[in-house]
Amino acid sequence: MSDDYTPYALVADDDPLIRMDASDILQDAGFRVHEAANYGQAMAILVAAYDSIQLLFTDVQMPPGEKNGFDLAQQCSQNWPHINILVASGMIEPEADDLPDGAVFVRKPFSADVVYDHLQKVLPDGAKPEPLKRRSA
């Protein structure tokens, strides 16, 4: 990723610790990050900043009564096809029509290496992630 343009990722997860962990992983991979705690917040960010967002990383389960991460991924793919999509869950496996074309599923709990490997699959050649920075324990 070039120094003069650092793309954004949007992390949508209702669990603040998982959202923070995913954001840290994506920052280490070279992204600036927007965060959303639910479907509505994520859609508002997508509408406002779609032209700078390169990646959506969403959890499947959102707060009760709201649309889920599959819905968010489908909306994103339909409205902003340039945005690459990772969908994560530790409880729900996607069925045939749950994921939009090109989206990748990540099983929770995930590690930085797993997310990085999935980024290698979903991002186009000119936008591959930076090598992971290793944090000292």
Q: Name the residue with tokens 């090109």.
A: 102
- Tens of pLDDT, residues 3-40: 457 899 999 999 999 999 999 999 999 899 999 999 99
Fold of 8-110: Rossmann fold (3.40.50)
Q: Which residues contact 119 (CB under 8 A, 6 or more apart)?
A: 29, 55, 86, 128, 129
* CA angle (12, 64, 46) in 5-degree steps: 30
Domain ranges of the chain: 8-110
- Mean pLDDT to the nearest integer, 49-70: 92
User: Alpha-carbon torsion 114, 116, 120, 123, what sign?
Assistant: positive
Distance CA 137, CA 134 (A): 9
To the question of pTM greater than 0.85 for the whole model, the response is yes
Q: What is the pLDDT of residue 135?
A: 55
Task: Give the C-alpha separation, 58 to 77, whole Å.
Answer: 13
